[in-house]
Amino acid sequence: MRLDFKHIQAAHCENGVTMSLLKNIGVQQITEPLAFGIGAGLFFVYIPLLKINNGPVIAFRTLPGLIFKRTCKALGIPVVRKKFRSKEAAETFLNECLAAGHPVGCQVGVYYLPYFPKEYRFHFNAHNLIVYGTEDGNYMVSDPVMENTSTLTAYELERVRFAKGALAPNGQLYYPKENQIVTNDQVKKGIISGIEKNVFNMISPFTGPIVGVNGIRFTGKRIKKWRDSLGLKQAGLYLAQLVRMQEEIGTGGGGFRYIYGAFLQETHAYIPNDELLEISQTFTASGDLWRTAAIQAAGIYKGRIGSQEDFNVMGDYLLEIAEIEKKAFTALKNIKWR
Amino acid sequence: MKKEDVPQDLGALGKITKEVCYATDESGKYTTQLSAGWDVKITALDTAWQDVEERIAAAKQKVLNKEASPILFFMEKGLMDIKILAGYTGFWQWQVKRHLKPEVFNKLSEKKLQKYAEVFNVSVPNLQTMTINEA
């Protein structure tokens, strides 16, 4: 059984799942940048002391699951979301959803995901894909970051749905409850609430020193100390981790800053305020600077450079980025919407 | 980033799928462009894997020195930490920690060994002797 569903490749898995599931229920307007922006996906956090895969915890986007949740909420679309203890119940429920005609979003771990390149298969549990049918006991899978669709056996799917470790998916699945038409006015409201939420997350004084623009500045200052506090080798590993979080599959480049720039450009069709186009350019500039910083970082972890001055340059890039993004979000904050 | 500047350096991912990047066209309008990869992040991934290889080698040495049980070696080999391994085996984290000691490991029941062997996808004798058959 194969549901009527169109695979669309996206930069990021959760944006892609959100976009494809919403398009599938009749939300014509939705695009990846809109899903990302309405879901207030742009973020920054660096949590010192905590480690994943023996590297620092750095994120350029909001917590997994939030983009789908916020976007659906903003557009007034009811959502079904379920986690499971039992693998059998998880599979039965999935089959029931498919039988009822719903393509379903699933949270999975990538370590056992067979179609992923081996080099990418770490224990990362916040990946998302869509199951849209069955065929000879196998499941048809639309993974938004892949160019083409894939097939998983029942066992392979069960294994990735019940991956273990941090953010274990516990078989979690989700889908929009029913078909729905969304008006342009609703999209406009969603855009405004998404931007307001993102402004809060990035520049509110209440989010503390390690989050948002403050977090970028904090990380820049920390990086300058990494050479002494961690040693050249470990510092290189940390910078490599930063670059991977910033550029690896799913970010669209420049730590999601380009997707956000695209989002602001698209909003102009709903809110004809030219300031949005200007601010979009500021995010492009920020994304470009993130990538320049990544090249500097690569020089360090490749061992081509590594003096304290090189770390200072790296740290200063982040301080500069913090200023640019502070300006951009302040400008967004000051826009009069009505 | 301009559309024509989207890097096309073939990496591990590019061999399987190209990825979507967002970039601007001549008129400054955002569009998507597929990328085969970028040298900067290919080397970032290489750096992470080098570290993994070093951790595996260090774990192996520890096991040979009788400072740790073979579970440490297989855990590092599987890119796991104690929390993940506890999740897959169903043991508590404190139990896994104990099983990392050679003297505790040597007295483990067949049943418990079997659990680890399944998670690491090796036979029990291979688990005990730290043997991997590259398949």
- Model pLDDT for residues A215-269, shown as the tens digit of each residue: 999 999 999 999 999 999 999 999 999 999 999 878 999 999 999 999 999 999 9
B41-129: what CATH class? mainly alpha
> Which pLDDT score, from 0 to 100, does residue A159 have?
96
Cβ <8 Å between A247 and B17: no
Rounded Cα distance, A301 and A42, in Å: 26
| Whether residue A319 sits in one domain with residue A263 | yes
| Whether residue A190 sits in one domain with residue A146 | no
| Whether residue A262 sits in one domain with residue A143 | no
Look up residue B98 and give its two tokens: 């104990």
Interface probe for A, chosen from B6, B20, B25, B50 (most Cβ of A below 10 Å), is: B20
| Whether residue A259 sits in one domain with residue A243 | yes
Does this complex have an ipTM over 0.95? no
Interface probe for B, chosen from A301, A305, A317 (most Cβ of B below 10 Å), is: A301
Q: For chain B, give every domain's residue range.
A: 3-37, 41-129
| Whether residue A116 sits in one domain with residue A19 | yes
Report chain A residues whose CB lies below 8 A from the CB of B88. 164
Which residue is associated with the tokens 């399987």? B16
| Whether residue A134 sits in one domain with residue A24 | yes
The predicted-structure confidence for B121-132, as pLDDT tens digits, reads as follows: 999 999 999 988
| Whether residue A188 sits in one domain with residue A171 | no
Judged on CB neighbours under 10 Å (0-12, 13-18, 19+), B12 is: middle
| Whether residue A208 sits in one domain with residue A84 | no
Work out the minimum CA distance from A61 to partner chain B, whole angstroms. Answer: 16
- The CATH number linked to A125 is 3.90.70
Which of A116, A147, A176 is the C-terminal boundary of a domain?
Answer: A176
Look up residue A317 and give its two tokens: 């890039």
**In which band, very low, low, confident or very high, does the pLDDT at B107 lie, cut at 50, 70 and 90?**
very high
The predicted-structure confidence for B72-106, as pLDDT tens digits, reads as follows: 999 999 999 999 999 999 999 999 999 999 999 99
**In chain A, pLDDT over 70 holds for what percent of residues?**
100
The number of folded domains in chain A is 2
* Of residues B24, B47, B80, nearest to A284 (C-beta): B24
Question: In terms of residue numbers, what domain contains A17?
Answer: 13-30+79-176
Question: What would the DSSP string read from start to end of A235-290?
Answer: HHHHHHHHHHHHHSTTSTTTTTHHHHHHHHHHHTTTS--HHHHHHHHHHHHHHHHH
| Whether residue A206 sits in one domain with residue A167 | no
Question: What would the DSSP string read from start to end of B76-119?
Answer: HHTT--HHHHHHHH---HHHHHHHTSHHHHTT--HHHHHHHHHH
Which of A137, A156, A176 is the C-terminal boundary of a domain?
Answer: A176
Question: What would the DSSP string read from start to end of A133-180?
Answer: EEETTEEEEE-TTSSS-EEEEHHHHHHHHT--STT--TT-EEEESS--
Residues 6+ positions from B59 with CB-CB distance below 8 Å:
B68, B72, B73, B75, B76, B77
A-B Cβ pairs (cutoff 8 Å, strict): 127
| Whether residue A279 sits in one domain with residue A155 | no
| Whether residue A148 sits in one domain with residue A84 | yes
- Decide if A60 is inside a domain: no
Cβ <8 Å between B22 and A258: yes
Interface probe for B, chosen from A111, A119, A170 (most Cβ of B below 10 Å), is: A119
Report chain A residues whose CB lies below 8 A from the CB of B38. 247
| Whether residue A157 sits in one domain with residue A125 | yes
* Of residues A118, A237, A265, nearest to B29 (C-beta): A265
**Span A307-317, average pLDDT:** 98
Cβ <8 Å between A243 and B40: yes
Cβ <8 Å between A252 and B21: yes
Torsion of the alpha carbons at A59, A65, A71 and A75, rounded to the nearest 10? -160
Beta bridge partners of A150: A141
Cβ <8 Å between B13 and A249: yes
Beta bridge partners of A128: A107
Give all strands of the β-sheet with A79-82 in edge-to-edge order: A79-82, A173-176, A104-108, A127-135, A138-142, A150-153
Interface probe for A, chosen from B8, B30, B45, B134 (most Cβ of A below 10 Å), is: B30
Examine the pLDDT at A128 and tell me if it is beyond 90: yes
Nearest to B22 by CA among A286, A335, A241: A286
Report chain B residues whose CB lies below 8 A from the CB of A168. 87
Work out the minimum CA distance from A288 to partner chain B, whole angstroms. Answer: 6
Work out the minimum CA distance from A332 to partner chain B, whole angstroms. Answer: 19
Look up residue B96 and give its two tokens: 């896994």
pTM higher than 0.90 for the full model? yes
